[in-house]
Amino acid sequence: MDEYLDAAIAEAALGLREGGIPIGSILVHDGRIIGRGHNRRVQQGSAILHGEMDALENAGRLPADVYARSTLYTTLSPCAMCSGAILLYGISRVVIGESVTFRGEEELLRGRGVSIDVVQDPRCIEMMERFIQEHPAIWNEDIGE
């Protein structure tokens, strides 16, 4: 198992326990977690606080070269907004827990030179499938349908 993906999954589970959408993210630089977060749209009444955005916010302001040498771990394929942030900050690698329940902008990221690894971790898939089944209105609101 990957300790960083495990940490992202733990963030997703925390978000679920808080009553939110179970998507977690971790930013790793030189083998150390420098930012962690989870989707807090529901908890904070936010339009933009996705897991990846929360992890970036919690990492704080960093020099461009730190982002360029960092890996972002996320339990779900990044949406257009989060992919834009990945590109804006020049994050060079993204590890995605799953893209079964939602396939985000993986091709955009690849096309812009970001290394993408999609794991299809059964824990991530099961957590999102259960959430979507139990909370379809929240899920549809989050993905804009």
Does pTM top 0.85 for this prediction?
yes
Annotation marks residue 52 as catalytic: yes
**Token output for 121:** 């971790």
Give the active site residue among 3, 11, 52, 141: 52
Task: Give the residue from 132, 120, 116 showing the smallest Cα distance to 82.
Answer: 116
Taking only the tens of pLDDT, the chain with its 145 residues reads: 699 999 999 999 999 999 999 999 999 999 999 999 999 999 999 989 999 999 999 999 999 999 999 999 999 999 999 999 999 999 999 999 999 999 999 999 999 999 999 999 999 999 999 999 999 998 888 765 4
- Find the distance separating the first CA and the last CA of the chain, reported in whole Å: 34
Classify burial at 113, counting beta carbons within 10 Å of its beta carbon; exposed 0-12, middle 13-18, buried 19 or more: exposed
**Token output for 86:** 């990945």
